[in-house]
């Protein structure tokens, strides 16, 4: 849990979040055979985490559809239970556009012995051909538990028009470089049948889902069924894409509209992980601004906080974690007062392991 700490009479450590009634502490001198173990067992109680899931459903053509979110505890609530507030929040789906009915409840409660709570939001059906849209459900003012995932995402799938193009197999938009070291924009990818009558493609882009302009002209190549392009000129918030197919005979058809959300700041990479002393963190920013980064231990305590001035584009900086105890941490960040990670304050798990720290002779 900790290594090479000074023998100054006391030390703080972060215990693993694993329940046991038979825990003991072993203290061993560095480069010495002598050690001591505490005389009696003590109990470790797991940190109780509260989280909310995501819901994805079709909106329907009329009436309403219930989007039911589940708030879960990592284990049944103890004496006194867990209380919290819960509320919807507009994103690309809004109450002004009559996409869903707003809902806000205070003092919601999970009693002792229970571990779940459900919250239903009414999504309103229509016959309008539009992009997929999302809204948020946030939990706040939690008493009796620590927030794990505090934001649920409701994705309303447009079901008012399927792909009208028989030659198009799929069309999708994702983060370019996701899973790698650099996230540099949007990747637009599509596949067509081996035999088709398409003359060329045009990738179109919109910021409101209604007014589109051409982003890229893509010629058809013989024998090629997989196509793709990228878009690095992104604005913070939603942007929308569709594929225009122009056949050899001049006829035109379109794919379904795909929504893509781009945050003002993207966490690109954290390495090494596990880490011993120095953590290298990379972010991509859409504009200059101050980024606040925190390392949170399993008790929900902020153990390290750092503010970094970001420039537009790729940014890399270091965090000195050499004085922190070994264990699991969460990296959380905010940019311009907005929590990052895609889901409110949800961040990245970091493992600090003293075995990765350099030994000096």
Alpha helix positions (H), 32-129:
none
Query: Which residues sit opposite 101 in a β-bridge?
Result: none
Per-residue tokens: 129: 């051909």
Q: Are strands 35-37 and 55-58 parallel, antiparallel or unpaired?
A: unpaired
Q: Which residues contact 10 (CB under 8 A, 6 or more apart)?
A: none
How would you class 139 by CB atoms within 10 Å of its CB: exposed for 0-12, middle for 13-18, buried for 19 or more?
Answer: buried
Q: How confident is the model at residue 163 (pLDDT cuts 50, 70, 90)?
A: very low
Structure tokens at 2: 């900790």
Cis peptide before 272 (omega within 30 of 0): yes
Please report which confidence band the pLDDT of residue 181 belongs to, taking 50, 70 and 90 as the band edges.
very low
CA atoms of 215 and 199, how far apart (whole Å): 17
At residue 209 the predicted structure's pLDDT band, cuts being 50, 70 and 90, is confident
> Residue 268: is its pLDDT beyond 50?
yes
Q: What is the Cβ-side half-sphere exposure of residue 184, based on CA atoms within 13 angstroms? A: 8
CB neighbours of 298 closer than 8 A, spacing ≥ 6? 14, 15, 16, 17, 47, 327, 328, 329
Tell me the pairing of strands 133-143 and 82-89: antiparallel
* Phi and psi angles of residue 330, each rounded to the nearest 5 degrees, phi first: -110, 130
151: Cβ–Cβ under 8 A, 6 or more apart, which residues? 52, 136, 137, 138, 139, 343, 344, 345, 346
CA angle 230, 232, 235 (to 5 degrees): 125
Q: Are 168 and 255 in contact (CB under 8 A)?
A: yes
Query: CA torsion 182→295→317→307, rounded to 10°?
Result: 120
- Is the model's pLDDT at 215 over the cut of 90? yes
Give the percent of the chain with pLDDT over 90.
31
Pick from 220, 222, 239, 223: which is nearest to 231 by CA?
Answer: 239
Instruction: Give residue-wise pLDDT tens across range 273-313.
Output: 888 888 898 887 777 888 888 888 877 788 899 999 988 77
pLDDT digits (tens, 9 = 90+) for 322-356: 888 888 888 888 876 544 433 334 356 677 765 65
- Residue 341: what pLDDT? 37
Predicted pLDDT of residue 210: 78
Q: Dihedral through CA 66, CA 71, CA 76, CA 81, nearest 10? A: -100
Q: What is the pLDDT of residue 234?
A: 78
Q: For 195-205, what is each residue's pLDDT tens digit?
A: 788 999 999 99
- Look at residues 117, 90, 115, 91 and name the one whose alpha carbon lies nearest to residue 103: 90
Neighbours of 350 (CB within 10 A): 21
């Amino acid at each position: 849990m900790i290594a090479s700490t000074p023998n100054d009479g006391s030390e703080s450590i972060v215990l693993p979040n694993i329940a046991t009634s038979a825990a003991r502490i072993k203290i061993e001198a560095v480069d010495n055979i002598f050690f001591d173990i505490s005389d009696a067992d003590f109990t470790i109680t797991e940190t109780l985490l509260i989280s909310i899931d995501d819901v994805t459903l079709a909106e329907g053509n009329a009436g309403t559809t219930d989007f039911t979110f589940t708030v879960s505890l990592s284990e049944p609530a103890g004496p006194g239970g867990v209380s919290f507030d819960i509320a919807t929040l507009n994103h690309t789906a809004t109450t002004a556009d009559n996409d869903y009915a707003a809902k806000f409840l205070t003092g919601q409660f999970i009693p002792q012995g229970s571990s779940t709570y459900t919250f239903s939001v009414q999504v309103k059906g229509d016959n309008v051909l539009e992009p997929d849209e999302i809204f948020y459900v946030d939990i706040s003012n939690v008493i009796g538990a620590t927030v794990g995932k505090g934001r649920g995402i409701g994705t309303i799938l447009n079901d008012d028009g399927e792909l009208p193009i028989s030659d198009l197999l799929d069309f999708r938009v994702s983060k370019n470089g996701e899973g790698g070291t650099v996230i540099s924009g949007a990747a637009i990818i599509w596949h067509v049948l081996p035999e088709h009558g398409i003359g060329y493609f045009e990738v179109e882009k919109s910021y409101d889902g209604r007014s589109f302009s051409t982003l890229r002209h893509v010629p058809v190549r013989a024998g090629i069924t997989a196509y793709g392009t990228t878009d690095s000129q992104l604005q913070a918030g939603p942007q929308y894409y569709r594929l225009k197919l122009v056949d050899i005979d001049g006829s035109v058809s379109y794919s379904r509209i795909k929504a893509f959300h781009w945050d003002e700041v993207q966490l690109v990479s954290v390495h090494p992980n596990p880490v011993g002393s120095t953590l290298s963190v990379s972010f991509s920013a859409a504009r200059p601004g101050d980024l606040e980064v925190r390392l949170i231990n399993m008790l929900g305590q902020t153990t390290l906080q750092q503010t970094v001035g970001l420039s537009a584009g790729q940014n890399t900086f270091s965090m000195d974690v050499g004085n922190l105890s070994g264990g699991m941490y969460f990296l959380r960040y905010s940019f311009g007062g907005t929590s990052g990670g895609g889901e409110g304050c949800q961040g990245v798990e970091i493992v600090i392991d003293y075995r990765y720290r350099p030994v000096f002779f």
